[in-house]
Chains A and B, each alone.
Chain A
């Protein structure tokens, strides 16, 4: 009999029976996360299910934080924050409030997503924590209300699509370029409901932050989750941040499991850019040379980590922003911000003329600040370039790596960073 994929093993553990792809299961949730945009609807739904004096199934397994509209950017946002603070306090739930940063950075770095965990978050990019070997997926607010009440959720165990990146990436080509190329090739629905497992020699060499960029974008090809089988790199990431944990109980996929596989040779891959208004509309950055930029956004749960900021600063090498270009830099968490501060990166960006904001989602989802007006063009390290995503439906958002975004910031147009 064939072996089990990592996803099948996680769902088998979480549903206490041996299950295979395609089976429906009722699974026990290890961790649930809500933020300020989708949390209020989940809380409302929870009280409708459980009654006014209802208690959540296990407060120690829930995390609340605010990142989309912080510090409160409107009275409506302030009211949502008040509601969630009250809920967390009354139920005894950990609430990071506005203090720690973007959910998908904070959850892994604080140890709330570990290898083999089944994690749900009411945000589509919850798939990010799969970089640590968790099965982690985004759900809606009503599903979350049901999780709050029961600690369980139904799933169809997904089939696995293994996306292998083989070879050695050239200088200034990153995991973002690899995942954009993969999305461009298989399409925005190329992995619908599948568990996307990133593998291959290039992925093995990547740091956890680089892997998080790829897992984060699994949803942009329709994936239910984005996973990397845990290895020594994974263990070190966790031990450095969370302390000791039991390596022996970590789940791994079997070599003889059943999955589809696609392979890319990334050795000669040039920097990639997703052209508006679809994430799967991907071309080499050099093909877009000359495209003028109004705003560069360096940040988000995709590329707002210290390593991303360091790479961007390396490309900019003390050069000022091109005339007429704005650059908004938002480290993804307080921890990453402090690292950037200590390394002098914040100074580098500010001397170049950029604005550096406190950790939050910023312009990424167009619901807060840093928005684009009619006809403006953004080069962004985030994950979506949908029409209207960063403000006006008449604006255009291009997606790239931090290196390509930095090159654009100092040249004023889309530029292959290797030409700087």
Chain B
């Protein structure tokens, strides 16, 4: 996965919980495309229809609080979200996002809905227009998981390396 993501900003506030990212009634399905159709439905019913590949969510503090449902970052990733930038993240969501290959950057960014945003998740930077915001850089072992596209792909690669297949 490339560490550079470019897209339009989608602005959300503080304490966006995983119940609004993917509401409970949709958790029966194992089909990620169906999950994607309902991404952010609890807070913005039009989001899944309007978001475009590579777009960036820019939010306040404690993004992804609440339930440990991994369907939340999966729904966002499948809907096309390229990266979530937030002032802070709830920790289970943060881990889950990395594990499913959805880049996350902890940074305090000021921008408006629809602004063009460029994120370099390896460096932990977010650029809006000519201004670059410096966020927290992930430890190298987590960046490796993201670069491989998530934990499952990362573990498979490790296994193949161990068995001399790669």
Q: Residues of A at under 8 Å CB distance from B?
A: 24, 37-38, 40-41, 44-45, 48-49, 68-69, 74, 76-77, 80, 122-124, 126, 138-143, 145-146, 149, 154, 188-189, 192-193, 219, 222, 224, 278, 365-367, 384, 386-389, 393
- List the count of A-B residue pairs having beta carbons below 8 Å apart: 124
Q: Are B42 and A387 in contact (CB-based, < 8 A)?
A: yes
Q: Are B17 and A386 in contact (CB-based, < 8 A)?
A: yes
Known contacts A48-B156, A140-B99; 18 additional CB pairs below 8 A are A45-B152, A69-B28, A77-B28, A123-B68, A124-B66, A138-B92, A139-B68, A140-B95, A142-B70, A142-B99, A142-B100, A189-B65, A366-B25, A367-B28, A386-B20, A387-B20, A387-B42, A387-B43
B151 at the interface (CB under 8 A from A): yes
Q: Residues of B at under 8 Å CB distance from A?
A: 15, 17, 19-20, 23-25, 27-30, 42-43, 61-62, 65-71, 88, 90-92, 95-96, 99-100, 139, 141, 150-152, 155-156, 159
Given A77-B28, A193-B91, A389-B24, A188–B15 Cβ distance below 8 Å? yes
Closest residue on chain B to residue A367 by CB atoms: B24
Q: Are B68 and A149 in contact (CB-based, < 8 A)?
A: no
Q: Are B70 and A141 in contact (CB-based, < 8 A)?
A: yes
**Chain A residues positioned under 8 Å from B15 (CB to CB):** 188-189, 278
- Top 7 closest A-B pairs, CB basis? A367-B24, A140-B96, A76-B28, A366-B24, A142-B99, A189-B62, A140-B70
A309 CB, nearest partner CB in chain B, Å: 24
Q: Are B156 and A38 in contact (CB-based, < 8 A)?
A: no
Q: Which of the residues A41, A192, A393 comes within 8 Å of B90, measured between beta carbons?
A: A192
B105 CB, nearest partner CB in chain A, Å: 16
Q: Are B66 and A222 in contact (CB-based, < 8 A)?
A: no
**Chain B residues positioned under 8 Å from A384 (CB to CB):** 17, 19, 66-67
**Chain B residues positioned under 8 Å from A149 (CB to CB):** 155
**Chain A residues positioned under 8 Å from B88 (CB to CB):** 189, 192
B113 CB, nearest partner CB in chain A, Å: 20
A193 vs B15: C-alpha distance in the bound complex, in angstroms? 15
**Chain A residues positioned under 8 Å from B151 (CB to CB):** 45, 142-143, 145-146
A41 vs B75: C-alpha distance in the bound complex, in angstroms? 13
A87 vs B29: C-alpha distance in the bound complex, in angstroms? 18
**Chain B residues positioned under 8 Å from A146 (CB to CB):** 151, 155
**Chain A residues positioned under 8 Å from B24 (CB to CB):** 365-367, 388-389
**Chain A residues positioned under 8 Å from B62 (CB to CB):** 188-189, 192, 222
**Chain B residues positioned under 8 Å from A122 (CB to CB):** 68, 70
A74 vs B26: C-alpha distance in the bound complex, in angstroms? 12
Q: Which of the residues A49, A68, A124, A192 comes within 8 Å of B152, measured between beta carbons?
A: A49
Q: Are B19 and A38 in contact (CB-based, < 8 A)?
A: no
A73 CB, nearest partner CB in chain B, Å: 9
**Chain B residues positioned under 8 Å from A37 (CB to CB):** 27, 69
A193 vs B88: C-alpha distance in the bound complex, in angstroms? 11
A49 vs B153: C-alpha distance in the bound complex, in angstroms? 8
A387 CB, nearest partner CB in chain B, Å: 6
A154 vs B91: C-alpha distance in the bound complex, in angstroms? 13
**Chain A residues positioned under 8 Å from B139 (CB to CB):** 24
Write 13 A-B pairs (CB below 8 A) sorted by A numbering: A69-B28, A77-B28, A122-B70, A126-B68, A139-B95, A140-B70, A140-B96, A145-B152, A188-B65, A189-B62, A192-B91, A365-B67, A367-B24
**Chain A residues positioned under 8 Å from B69 (CB to CB):** 37-38, 140
**Chain A residues positioned under 8 Å from B20 (CB to CB):** 386-388, 393
**Chain A residues positioned under 8 Å from B155 (CB to CB):** 49, 146, 149
A24 vs B141: C-alpha distance in the bound complex, in angstroms? 11
A245 vs B88: C-alpha distance in the bound complex, in angstroms? 41
B103 CB, nearest partner CB in chain A, Å: 15
Closest residue on chain B to residue A76 by CB atoms: B28
**Chain B residues positioned under 8 Å from A224 (CB to CB):** 91
**Chain B residues positioned under 8 Å from A44 (CB to CB):** 30
B49 CB, nearest partner CB in chain A, Å: 17
A221 CB, nearest partner CB in chain B, Å: 10
Q: Are B25 and A222 in contact (CB-based, < 8 A)?
A: no
A147 vs B152: C-alpha distance in the bound complex, in angstroms? 12
**Chain B residues positioned under 8 Å from A141 (CB to CB):** 70, 96
Q: Are A389 and B19 in contact (CB-based, < 8 A)?
A: yes
A326 vs B27: C-alpha distance in the bound complex, in angstroms? 26
Most buried by A among B29, B65, B96: B65
A80 vs B43: C-alpha distance in the bound complex, in angstroms? 27
A138 vs B91: C-alpha distance in the bound complex, in angstroms? 10
A301 CB, nearest partner CB in chain B, Å: 12
Closest residue on chain A to residue B156 by CB atoms: A49
Q: Which of the residues A69, A140, A145, A389 comes within 8 Å of B68, measured between beta carbons?
A: A140
A388 vs B96: C-alpha distance in the bound complex, in angstroms? 22
Given A138-B92, A142-B96, A189-B15, A388–B150 Cβ distance below 8 Å? no
